[in-house]
Chains A and B, each alone.
Chain A
Amino acid sequence: QQKVQQSPESLTVSEGAMASLNCTFSDRSSDNFRWYRQHSGKGLEVLVSIFSDGEKEEGSFTAHLNRASLHVFLHIREPQPSDSALYLCAVASSGSWQLIFGSGTQLTVMP
């Protein structure tokens, strides 16, 4: 059974300082990784999807996947207070329809 864990649970950074979020997974056959963001009281917004080792950039968001170490990272370049939200990592195993979510990192960006 796939397990997905995120760290830290909460993170506070200053406006403009890089924010780095970590996600670990347990199934090495996983091939489908998503980062979502959820503002309070809203639905999920997909930020970046990555399917192979290396980096994928979408705007100010960069995902970095290393399947050998079972990690996928999200780096947020020059975050703004409007980026304050819950960030969720989701992983699917090869051939599976089911995305398994981590419990999230609550990011606060201070002006």
Chain B
Amino acid sequence: GGIITQTPKFLIGQEGQKLTLKCQQNFNHDTMYWYRQDSGKGLRLIYYSITENDLQKGDLSEGYDASREKKSSFSLTVTSAQKNEMAVFLCASSRGDNQAPLFGEGTRLSVL
């Protein structure tokens, strides 16, 4: 079976800092996603990529950059961390648009 690995599991940053989150999958899936999950809210799509070197903005892309370096990896950068920000960032992958995305366990971000 495959796995989606997100690193780091926990990330503590300072206000204004640039922070990078990484995601690796070994399912050989074409499509990868980054979602943000806030307490009491559903997941919101930040970026997705339907193939290597492709990038598509989701509804929440402002304040973030993404990079699909190769088929198996998808990185997300918080360009300037906001004070007191707390959220979970979830990476997912799928074969295509009709397969349910499979999720990693998330990176928990806290900004001091």
Contact = CB atoms under 8 A, between A and B. Distances in A.
A binds B: yes
Interface of A: 4, 32, 34, 36, 41-46, 49, 51, 88, 90, 92, 95-104
A45 B103 CA distance: 7
Contacts of A4: 42
B40 interface: yes
A49 B50 CA distance: 21
Interface stretch (B13-21, B71-79, B94-102): B94-102
Given A43-B104, A43-B105, A46-B102, A88 B42 contact: yes
B45 A43 contact: no
A16 B56 CA distance: 44
B103 A92 contact: no
Given A43-B4, A43-B90, A44-B90, A101 B43 contact: yes
Interface of B: 4, 31, 35, 40-45, 48, 50, 56, 58-59, 90, 92, 97-98, 100-106
B104 A92 contact: no
B42 A103 contact: yes
B106 A98 contact: no
A49 B94 CA distance: 14
A11 to B, nearest CB: 16
A21 to B, nearest CB: 14
B100 A49 contact: yes
A26 to B, nearest CB: 14
A46 B94 CA distance: 12
Contacts of A32: 97-98
Given A43-B4, A43-B106, A44-B90, A102 B42 contact: yes
A44 B105 CA distance: 7
B87 to A, nearest CB: 14
A97 B97 CA distance: 6
Given A4-B42, A41-B105, A104-B42, 7 more contacts: A34-B100, A43-B104, A46-B101, A46-B102, A90-B43, A97-B31, A99-B101
